[in-house]
Structure 1
């Protein structure tokens, strides 16, 4: 009994001692004198962590005695750490000053489908933070990509201004666009779905160049663009961004964080864009910029669970009414031959989410679904389409023997597509038969840590397309890094595949200006890609420098390309009887000086060619050189200037035969912008500047025979060069303009 009494007293004294520990660490996080809200602060190898408040302050309380490493980190900043010893009810003050743009330590998920620091990823992933896109504000993520090296937003129509995103010279259908890792933008929305994503909710954008079909399946041939939205727990209570231009564009972004309960938090985003100004500066009788009325509503809900496992679900709705055409076109002329106009009504819904199963193993279920409904007229030609896509996959992640990180996936995609073109007609030419595709698949990936400096990634995927049969996609990635990770070398070889649906991907097929013809059944495309990547990090007393160089090579079989040249009155789609190659070299440099100057620049030199019947030609609408830059200077924590721009080399353009008077190649051209930003408080920010400083626009005769859009009195077979043709397009007709915007944030 006596011993029991002593033991009880000892335990009570121990508990009292633990409860009495009031060790704490507090401080402030800044960058170049500016406070940083929502920076992650945590003690390594513990569950103790927090984030800075709206004024950049943090505090960790009730820390047991011991030795710790405290870390401050956030995407877009170089993380910093410090060793701290606490004992005897200490109150320690520790401040951090973070440096921007150390991209090597950013967390990425797109390359391997699991969170990993960028320097540890065997797949080269480029990361662009929200601050990068603020340097050249735009109404949509489509336009924002114009300052990313090797990525070019391509307009596909002079009249309605729809477009897609090219990666390393490959057209939009080869680019797989995801939101929070889920395949949302595909098919019809490759053309129309890249607008309307509220940029106030975007945390960062990850870009992977080269085939990623092993993880993502069909369409991920040229690369992927993964739009990562903010977490409800880290987002501001309210964020608004409104700007207008001298052309009359008005764009509004609103983000709102809310709580449904203690464990359920949400993030609501609204984007509204309106442009109703009929401008014809090139005097061709057509609108230089389409008139648009678009609204997008986004909602994301995060549910906290006792197990701390993930459960998040999100949805988005987009409505857009856009038209372009003759200046005096009105809605009453829609579908008639009185006045030429291209009018597009789009309704689109999306939902996606992730649910970690309540098991001891790391198993997640990811899902997405979308419906796209389009009602369009291109002159007198109508295009009505409906597309439904459902996607789900289970992912199992298991660490085996410390060296192997195993990832297994089981996926299924359902696609329903119906339109009023011959693409969904039966052989009798009368009965309409919607296209239904089932695509189950299985993938496996093993990330092998050979040692601290060498890593090998092996992956393979098998899919069964209900229309085309089995498709196999393997890949191999290798990474080496120096001990201090100042040098990183990566090599990869991979396979990609794509099952094409022309009418959902190529806007030129819809315009009605040329007759569309299919030459035989379109078989799936396949490609092999090789990529070498080298990253060099140099830190000096006054600067942080990152150099990133890549060499890429992609070889295509069964390439599906539009043929504008065999018959000037037609667009002929067929599998290439030969092969196609995309090869080149790119260089990125990111330099941040401690005096407030930062430079981000890149250039890509490439050759995209088609070889058929022994004859090699350059691919249409593909530049051989492109360059981008972003130069920023912070005069102080409240005032900065950004100068951004791009430069493109000549592209071969589609002509209407030898007598076409338009130039066969586009000129060298550059779009440059300048912006000044003034921050008044942590909440108010005013910005403004000039876009397209050089006032570059394409030639005034880009729309051929704009005065006779219905080809009245013209035999276009005998004189194809006299036909109306809006497919000769490589840049926007929108010239120089001023813009002014205001941001208001409540943290």
Structure 2
């Protein structure tokens, strides 16, 4: 009887089991179609993939409750429970998000070869366009300030010349690369990050600490490597335009072109600021007037066996000036109305070619020409620099656990200006500096097992003036599990100095430059200890990245601003300098649409100099002991979002004059920004917000702005302290609160 009842029940249920429905939808990321996403239907065990448009359809699903799993590499896995109880099609659209627990970004700067960021024995920090679009800027110079411990520093209140400080060290200690090439150096450090179209940037990689074992001279304090997009992977058309209530206009655009086996990416960047503002009423422009245009073109060529061949070029022209409000170009170089006027022309060429051999052998080359025509008051500075660079290296793998890099490089620099730097010994005529710098380097990387990895490197360079320079380094990575990583490294760096090309204070007409001795090359020794912790929880993913660093510098070039207010006296430090500290980065991604990035750094940067058998300690200029940054992002839905970004700084030592009434240390301050974004279909989005919400600007940036040529300083009645005009008392932009609006468009 039991068997008969079971058979009756089975036949009675067959019509119900035969009823089936279906599920279909579209899978996206950031409102863009996401192809090839893996889809699993449990408990049926059915698997399929989304098509090239991100579309999928699951047909003939029997009535019941199922879990649909959507997964893709580098993205968070989405799980959805669906009940099918009608003969119909259920629409299920899915938006996948970045998975911060994976952190599988590819980086190249730490080891000169592509490697997963989590596998790199050298800690590398990354800025992507997704991050620096949260606070739109007209140049990458401002964008890199979103990295904890990296400080874009303005060095002049009149011409707004600036450089990049890493861990408190001045700009000349930062090597700036474009696609791995040392294209930006010396004379062009100030302008190298201006005029690179943001729409062409794939990511920016930052390595803190010396890296001369791979990159040679100037890589003493750290490296900023701007990686441009591969043309084949770039959008067909992209554009970004914004303007501010101060009158700034920024236009950035790119287009992809195809010609036979080659793909080209052509970009243009234009920035204009021509509104004279003097909100502190000192009769000087608060912000430098600028008119800049840059054109960038990169070509990738298809080759057999996916070998690499790319070539890129960039041209930049900029007209920049600041000064008294009634200044005009007819006063350029005169002593009637003060102005600092800089015309810059710059051309670059970069190339990468993989040889058609069985071994992975790469050749790289770059060339740049930089011309600067400038007047700082009545003082002219006319300079031209050419840098040619060629490099070849072999990337050899021995099995899956051993990688060996061997290479040779040659840099040749020609520099000429109108200062004593290139004058003949007799003072008659001019002799441009010609500096060849050949070098060889090796790197050996071993993966001992899935927990331990070691790396060793060594570079030998030869300078005709300073002889042989040796630069070793060693690194170790230990990962006991996927949520904990420890990295330790030691390295050295060196720098062959060209004083006049790097120190803006040496160029202004306010002080005379005195060089007391033949300057020796600087050396640095650095140790880093890095710990990365990932904490997944039910409501959020939490990431911690903490780094302790210690750098020791010898032969440091120092400028004495204090002995004589009318002079800058340069010599090698009779002692040593130290940069030490600790930085912490945190990353919180919640299950609801809130993400928080925050960082804090403590730095102690100082120098010890021997004077009269005593050691004197002095704090580094423009190096705050405490600083930090923050990014808070919230998505109201897939189309609306809000971003709050900012930086804060503790007191930093400033260059003051004798008996200066201004404080020697700046106050604590914060610059915060807010942005709202509305996204539409087809890659269009509008954004707007406010910069410098708290309207912070420095006080008393200029002394005696009414006498910029120092014609009346010898007046004991009206100037009893003997003050002279000086532009270097600077720690933040004079640009106050402003509103911005903009529009972006990407066509894939």
On the 8 A contact 1:214/1:460 being kept in 2, the answer is yes
Indicate the SS of the match to 1:553.
Answer: strand
Within-5 A mapping of 1:167-246: 167-246=166-245
1:78 deviates by 6.1
In 2, the alpha carbon distance for the partners of 1:333 and 1:284 equals: 19
Q: What residue in structure 1 maps to residue 122 of structure 2? A: 123
1:682 deviates by 3.0
Within-5 A mapping of 1:548-567: 548-567=545-564
1:98 deviates by 3.5
Q: What residue in structure 2 maps to residue 350 of structure 1? A: 348
**Which string of whole-angstrom CA distances, capped at 9 and with x for unpartnered residues, describes residues 367-397 of structure 1?**
1110000100011110000000011111101
Q: What residue in structure 1 maps to residue 727 of structure 2? A: 726
Q: What residue in structure 2 maps to residue 46 of structure 1? A: none
In 1, the alpha carbon distance for the partners of 2:583 and 2:145 equals: 16
Judged with a 3 Å threshold, the aligned counterparts in structure 2 of structure 1 residues 130 and 80 are, in CA distance, closer, same or farther, namely farther
1:37 deviates by 4.9
1:288 deviates by 0.2
Judged with a 3 Å threshold, the aligned counterparts in structure 2 of structure 1 residues 167 and 643 are, in CA distance, closer, same or farther, namely same
1:431 deviates by 1.9
Indicate the SS of the match to 1:239.
Answer: strand
Number of equivalences:
687
Judged with a 3 Å threshold, the aligned counterparts in structure 2 of structure 1 residues 527 and 308 are, in CA distance, closer, same or farther, namely same
In 2, the alpha carbon distance for the partners of 1:412 and 1:52 equals: 48
1:36 deviates by 3.6
Give the TM-score normalised by the residue count of structure 1: 0.89
Q: What residue in structure 2 maps to residue 341 of structure 1? A: 339
Judged with a 3 Å threshold, the aligned counterparts in structure 2 of structure 1 residues 714 and 486 are, in CA distance, closer, same or farther, namely same
On the 8 A contact 2:607/2:617 being kept in 1, the answer is yes
In 2, the alpha carbon distance for the partners of 1:273 and 1:382 equals: 25
On the 8 A contact 1:286/1:326 being kept in 2, the answer is yes
In 2, the alpha carbon distance for the partners of 1:245 and 1:627 equals: 25
In 1, the alpha carbon distance for the partners of 2:394 and 2:323 equals: 52
Q: Does 1:472 align with 2:470?
A: yes
In 1, the alpha carbon distance for the partners of 2:130 and 2:99 equals: 10
Give the TM-score normalised by the residue count of structure 2: 0.89
Q: Does 1:661 align with 2:657?
A: no
Judged with a 3 Å threshold, the aligned counterparts in structure 2 of structure 1 residues 138 and 431 are, in CA distance, closer, same or farther, namely same
On the 8 A contact 1:568/1:655 being kept in 2, the answer is no
Judged with a 3 Å threshold, the aligned counterparts in structure 2 of structure 1 residues 382 and 266 are, in CA distance, closer, same or farther, namely same
On the 8 A contact 2:526/2:552 being kept in 1, the answer is yes
**Which string of whole-angstrom CA distances, capped at 9 and with x for unpartnered residues, describes residues 522-546 of structure 1?**
1110010000000001222332221
1:409 deviates by 1.0
1:598 deviates by 0.3
After alignment, is 354-363 or 676-685 more displaced?
A: 676-685
Q: Does 1:359 align with 2:357?
A: yes
On the 8 A contact 2:375/2:381 being kept in 1, the answer is yes
In 2, the alpha carbon distance for the partners of 1:490 and 1:709 equals: 52
In 1, the alpha carbon distance for the partners of 2:721 and 2:510 equals: 11
Within-5 A mapping of 1:515-534: 515-534=512-531
**Which string of whole-angstrom CA distances, capped at 9 and with x for unpartnered residues, describes residues 417-469 of structure 1?**
00000111111112211000001100000001111100000000000112211
On the 8 A contact 1:35/1:56 being kept in 2, the answer is no
In 2, the alpha carbon distance for the partners of 1:370 and 1:689 equals: 37
Judged with a 3 Å threshold, the aligned counterparts in structure 2 of structure 1 residues 52 and 433 are, in CA distance, closer, same or farther, namely farther
Q: What residue in structure 2 maps to residue 35 of structure 1? A: 31
In 2, the alpha carbon distance for the partners of 1:152 and 1:79 equals: 37
Judged with a 3 Å threshold, the aligned counterparts in structure 2 of structure 1 residues 674 and 404 are, in CA distance, closer, same or farther, namely same
**Which string of whole-angstrom CA distances, capped at 9 and with x for unpartnered residues, describes residues 212-253 of structure 1?**
111111111111011111111111111110000000000000
On the 8 A contact 2:445/2:453 being kept in 1, the answer is yes
On the 8 A contact 1:656/1:721 being kept in 2, the answer is no
Within-5 A mapping of 1:362-381: 362-381=360-379
In 2, the alpha carbon distance for the partners of 1:542 and 1:306 equals: 48
Match of 2:394 among 393, 396, 399: 396
Structure 2 residues without counterparts, runs of 5 or longer: 1-23, 40-48, 58-69, 80-91
**Which string of whole-angstrom CA distances, capped at 9 and with x for unpartnered residues, describes residues 38-87 of structure 1?**
778799xxxxxx9986x54599xxxxxxxxxx98446xx56999xxxxxx
Structure 1 residues without counterparts, runs of 5 or longer: 1-25, 44-49, 60-69, 82-92
Indicate the SS of the match to 1:386.
Answer: strand
1:192 deviates by 1.8
In 2, the alpha carbon distance for the partners of 1:405 and 1:570 equals: 52
Judged with a 3 Å threshold, the aligned counterparts in structure 2 of structure 1 residues 420 and 103 are, in CA distance, closer, same or farther, namely farther
Indicate the SS of the match to 2:230.
Answer: coil
On the 8 A contact 1:716/1:722 being kept in 2, the answer is no
Q: What residue in structure 2 maps to residue 738 of structure 1? A: 739
Within-5 A mapping of 1:560-709: 560-613=557-610, 614-657=615-658, 659-699=659-699, 701-709=700-708
Q: Does 1:493 align with 2:490?
A: yes
Indicate the SS of the match to 2:118.
Answer: helix
Judged with a 3 Å threshold, the aligned counterparts in structure 2 of structure 1 residues 247 and 451 are, in CA distance, closer, same or farther, namely same
In 2, the alpha carbon distance for the partners of 1:372 and 1:100 equals: 42
**Which string of whole-angstrom CA distances, capped at 9 and with x for unpartnered residues, describes residues 316-345 of structure 1?**
000000000000000100011110000000
On the 8 A contact 2:359/2:396 being kept in 1, the answer is yes
In 1, the alpha carbon distance for the partners of 2:243 and 2:465 equals: 48
Q: What residue in structure 2 maps to residue 420 of structure 1? A: 418
Q: What residue in structure 2 maps to residue 145 of structure 1? A: 144
On the 8 A contact 1:265/1:301 being kept in 2, the answer is yes
Indicate the SS of the match to 2:132.
Answer: helix
Indicate the SS of the match to 1:329.
Answer: coil
Judged with a 3 Å threshold, the aligned counterparts in structure 2 of structure 1 residues 558 and 35 are, in CA distance, closer, same or farther, namely same
Q: Does 1:431 align with 2:429?
A: yes
Judged with a 3 Å threshold, the aligned counterparts in structure 2 of structure 1 residues 157 and 481 are, in CA distance, closer, same or farther, namely same
Judged with a 3 Å threshold, the aligned counterparts in structure 2 of structure 1 residues 381 and 540 are, in CA distance, closer, same or farther, namely same
Indicate the SS of the match to 1:504.
Answer: helix
